[in-house]
Structures are given as C-alpha cells and as structure tokens.
Amino acid sequence: MHSATLSPAARERSLAALGSGQELDVLVIGGGVTGAGCALDAVTRGLSVGLIEARDWASGTSSRSSKLIHGGLRYLEMLDFGLVREALRERGLLLQRLAPHLVRPVPFLYPLRHRGWERLYAGAGVLLYDTMSLSGGHGRGVPAHRHLSRRGALRACPSLRPEALVGALQYYDAQVDDARLVTFLVRTAAAHGAHPLSRARVVGFLREGSRVTGARVHDLETDRVFEVRARQVINATGVWTADTQALVGERGQVQVRASKGIHLVVPRDRIRSRTGLILRTETSVLFVIPWGRHWLIGTTDTDWDLDKAHPAATSRDIDYLLEHVNQVLATPLSRDDVEGVYAGLRPLLSGEPNATAKLSREHTVVSPVPGLVMVAGGKYTTYRVMARDAVDEAVRGLGGAVPASCTDVVPLLGAEGSVARWNQRRRLAQQYGLHVARVAHLLRRYGAAVDEVLALLREDPTLGEPLDGAEDYLRVEVVYAASAEGALHLEDVLTRRTHISIESFDGGLTAARPAATLMAPVLGWDDARVDREVAHYVARVRAERAAHEQPDDVAADAVRLGAPDEVPAAVVAA
C-alpha cells in the first residue's frame, strides 16, 4: 500500500472520478467511523468505491465521543455478553494490529463505597471482563485488573475524598483520538483505491424502477451538482439515517434515536491522579479520562430531537457533570476550571425502552429497496464489524463472487513501522532540532506517517515552532492537516485535526488567525478568505459558549444556530 494524502489535488481527482459517469461497485454515504470503515472494507475486497461526506470527515458523532475503545463494562450488567465479547475483540485488534499508533491502554479506578459485597460483585464483573478479552485470540492488549485498598486508591488518585470510598478496583480499557482514526481510515481507503469526497451532500437518489442506482451529489466547495452511479449504495449516516432514508421516498425500516452526550475538558492539574475514574450515576456511568495535559469528564445521556449538526450543551448539562464528579473530589471543580465543552449524538436503535441509556448499542443492517443498504446503531469500538456486515449485504446485492472481508488484517496508514519510529524518537528529535517530547507528540498522532510531517520541516524549519495561541501543537501540523488530511476550513483544523477548540480556555480564538494564515497558501486563500474563515470560527465559538449558559435544549439550540455553517469556497470566491 502506498501512502495517500487527502490533498486539494487528490480531492479534485476524486471529484473527477465520481462525476465521470463510470459506475462504481459501491457508493458509501457518510464520512464518520462507520462509513469510512465501509469504504475501507469494500475497497480491500477489490471493489470500486466512492465515499461521500456532507461536511468534514468525522464532523458528527465520530469526533464527539468519549474517545474510548472499550468493551462496555456496564453492558455486562445488562447481560449483553455477545456485544461485550465482540467489542473486546475489536479493542485487541486495534491495540495490537490495526492502529497501535492511535489506540493505547488507559487505566480506570472504580471507587468502592461498600465493604464486602460490592468488592465481590464488582470484582467478579471486572474479572469476567478481563477473561472475555482473551477469548478473541488477540490477547487483551492491556494490563490485568487489580484490587486496591483505600490507601492504595488514594496513592493512585490523591484528589479523591477519603470518605468517598472504602477501596477500589483498577482496570484498563483503551482510548483513541476519534477524529484522527476516521481520517486515517479514509486515507487508508484512498491508498487502496477508494475515491473519498468531503463537503459533498447527497441531495437525491437515482432510481431505475424500484432499484437505487446511485445518488445526486452537491459539491459544496464548487457549487456543482453531479450524478454518481453505483451498483450498490450504503447509507451509513448515523443520526441522519432517517433524513437520508427519506430521500429514497420509502418508509424507513430503521429507526434511530439520537441521544445527546456532553463532555467537559479541564486542565490536568485540577485533578491529581495517575489514573482515570469511572463513577456510577443514577442513570448511567461517568468517566474521568486522562487526555494529554487535560481530563475529559463525561457523559450525559438524554434525548435530542433538535438540530443534528450542532447539538448544544446546556448550563444544566454542565452543572450535572460537575455535581457528580465533585461528589468524589476533595477539591471541587467549578465552571472556571472548564476549558472546553463538546456535545455529540449517539445513534441508538429505537423501539424499546424509553430511556436512551438503556437502548441497545448493537447495530442493524437492512436493504429496504434493491440497491440500497442501510447500517445503523452500534458503537465506535465495533465500527469494523458494522462495516463488514454492511458490505456483506451489499455484496449479496452485487450477485458476483467477491472476497470476504479482510480488514482484520489490514493495518491503518501509519501503523506499520510505528513501533520502530517510536524507538527512534530521540534520534529523530536530534535530526530535526525538536525536543523529544515534541517528537513523541507527533508519533502519537501520526505513527510512521510522521515521516511525511517531518519532510515539511526539512523544507521550512520554522514550521517546527509552536502554533501561536496553542503551544501544544506545532505549526507544521496545521500545514499538514490542509495539505494531506483533507482539512478544507479553519474549523476542520482547530476542532478535528487538532483539538485546540476544546483544549484552550479561549476556545482557540488566539490560534485562529495564525492557523488560517498557515492554511492559506496550501488552499489558495487570499486575505479576504482568511478573514472570512476567522470570522466564521469566532462566531461559532461565541455561539457555543452562549449556548452553554442556556437552561434547556431548546434555548441552547436556538442560540447555537445563530452562527452560520462553514462558507463554501465557491460562495466566498463569488
């Protein structure tokens, strides 16, 4: 496999290929983790594949998760052993074979509040969890759990209130930069021959009688509408499933309920701990997750039936998380400690319980009309299984002999050689005049693809300097995001290629203009375009922060929608 960049030139090639009139085997709609997984699965079976995304890669649910790759420990209590076993198998694959440069173990402490029975009950659950992780044939990929006394738990997490626990269990799961994994999935699919195109919205389906034969696509960057013909179309649009389904003109067979989950980001020094935390709440569980120089605290689980593109966190949501985490912290957190807030929507299969927290995270695949496959539900960790099942259904519609899925043995771009590159980080630091911590940061984000990033430094050593307003990131990462990772707008870089928007107290406003200036020569922006991109980003941050002060979803949604979506290049140029 050769490296594939999502460069502006590569986008033009995808646009030309998709609009050429040549029929594809499979067209995938939806550029989240499931859609990107479908594209990779299909193209590695030898099929011709197009991948369409209405906004930026992972701009919906797949960049707003808890950033965990996990089996779902709480699903053991629901006796959903099949889902847990499947997810643990996928966790092992991602950790050890598919994306070891992006997925890594993370420890969690579960405080015990009762003596005797709770340690036995919770300990049995965690033991079963660890044991099931070995059944997939890939090893657990993380250390085994252990029991801790109260003193041992307080050594691991000095910020806990001693009276809040009598002991603890510590176990391991894994975490991932969710948006980056999707970008690497798209790039890997492109490297195998797929044609990915972001900022391209499906506005209708092509039909021959009852059969779906492709889609009409509006490219938002050029304001061009064209037709893409395909023998099979896969709808992997998550919480937008019903909207896409409606374009077919048939009553939907798949019902998806959107559940809103919010997360807070606080600086690492606000909680003294060497481990994450998992806490029970009255409706679900709450995680405190180490995230570089920050903590992620989440999540909530409430119905959402308003704007799907920009779910808004309310003042009540933020207070809920702070209240529950403060129940176990010796030094409570306040609103002033919150650097960032983000909200995402889970696509849950609807139809049974009223509470979204109790809806199944298992997925479904259906073919409502000939030529169209729909996949919905599931969880981030099991994206590869969802993609495999969706492509299996599409293959049945193709009617020919197509190889079975092989994505369990196809490492993502940057995986092969990443361990060797990690071992060479000190030499790389000397070679490029960087601190070894900076090289380690790059390796955790790019793996072996770091060589492409470092090549930009050879051409312009000033790109090795920190980005103004976001010292954790280097200037070169902004340039690489625009030149190789498909970032077409400032928001794409500050929100998804990096996480500056939630990792800084000013929401990335200081970094906005320096980042846009770096993107400009790559994307051909003039000064007016830079100004427009910065103005849009500022409006978006202010609208989100105003929404966080609102008491309920309706008010927060109305305020958030006060900021416009990205301005397409075609409109700016006009």
Q: What is the pLDDT of residues 547-574, one digit of tens each?
A: 999 999 999 999 999 988 766 555 444 4
Type of residue at 13: R
How buried is residue 351: exposed, middle or buried, by Cβ count under 10 Å (0-12/13-18/19+)?
exposed
In one-letter notation, the amino acid at residue 60 is G
345 membership: H or E segment, kind and range: strand 340-349
What's the CA gap between 429 and 466, in Å, rounded?
A: 15
Q: For residues 442 and 256, give the distance between their C-alpha atoms in angstroms, rounded to a whole number.
A: 37
Q: pLDDT at residue 306 above 90?
A: yes
CATH 1.10.8 domain locations along the chain = 460-562
Judged against a pLDDT cut of 60, whether residue 1 lies above it is answered with: no
Strands 24-29 and 49-52: parallel
Please tell me the predicted confidence (pLDDT) of residue 237.
97
Identify which of 358, 357, 361 has the alpha carbon closest to the alpha carbon of residue 347: 361
**pLDDT for position 3:** 59
Residue 468: phi and psi, rounded to 5, are: -55, 130
- Cβ(377)–Cβ(387) under 8 Å? no
Mean pLDDT of the region 197-222 = 97
For the 8-62+180-254+360-397 domain, the top CATH level (class) is: alpha beta
pLDDT band at 253 (very low <50, low <70, confident <90, very high): low
Average pLDDT over residues 77-82: 81
pLDDT given at position 356: 36
CATH 3.30.9.10 domain locations along the chain: 103-175+257-349
Q: What is the pTM of this model?
A: 0.95
- What is the average per-residue pLDDT within 228-232? 98
CA atoms of 521 and 529, how far apart (whole Å): 11
Band (pLDDT 50/70/90 cuts) for residue 82 is confident
> What's the topology of domain 103-175+257-349?
D-Amino Acid Oxidase; Chain A, domain 2 (3.30.9)
Pair of tokens at residue 504:
């800084």
543 vs 551: CA distance, rounded Å: 15
Q: How far is 236 from 545, CA to CA, in rounded Å?
A: 30
**Pair of tokens at residue 525:** 């922006």
- What average pLDDT score do residues 342-357 get? 70
pLDDT per residue over 510-561, tens digit each? Answer: 999 999 999 999 999 999 999 999 999 999 999 999 999 999 999 999 999 9
What is residue 242's predicted lDDT score, i.e. its pLDDT? 87
Tell me if 170 sits within 8 A of 129, measured CB to CB.
no
Q: Which residues of 488-523 are buried (b: 16+ CB within 10 A; e: fewer)?
A: bbbbbbbbbbbbbbbbbeebbbbbbbbbbbbbbebb
**Does an H or E element contain 363, and which?**
strand 363-369
- Mapped onto helix, strand or coil, the DSSP state of residue 517 is helix
Measured CA to CA, the distance from residue 278 to residue 325 in angstroms comes to 10
Half-sphere exposure (Cβ direction) of 38: Cα atoms closer than 13 Å: 36
Residue with tokens 């092992």: 92
Q: How confident is the model at residue 282 (pLDDT cuts 50, 70, 90)?
A: confident
CA dist., res. 469 & res. 481, Å (int): 17
Burial 184-219 (b: 16+ CB within 10 A, else e): bbbbbbbbbebbbbbbbbbeebbbeeeebbbbebbb
Listed in sequence order, the residues at least 6 apart from 384 whose beta carbon sits closer than 8 Å to its beta carbon are 37, 41, 90, 93, 98, 407, 408
The CA radius of gyration of the chain, in Å to the nearest whole number, is: 23
Is domain 460-562 classified as CATH 1.10.8? yes
Cα–Cα nearest to 549, from 339, 322, 334, 312: 312
Task: Determine how many CB atoms are found less than 10 A away from the CB of residue 115.
Answer: 9
Q: How confident is the model at residue 426 (pLDDT cuts 50, 70, 90)?
A: very high
Per-residue confidence band for 38, with pLDDT thresholds at 50, 70 and 90: very high
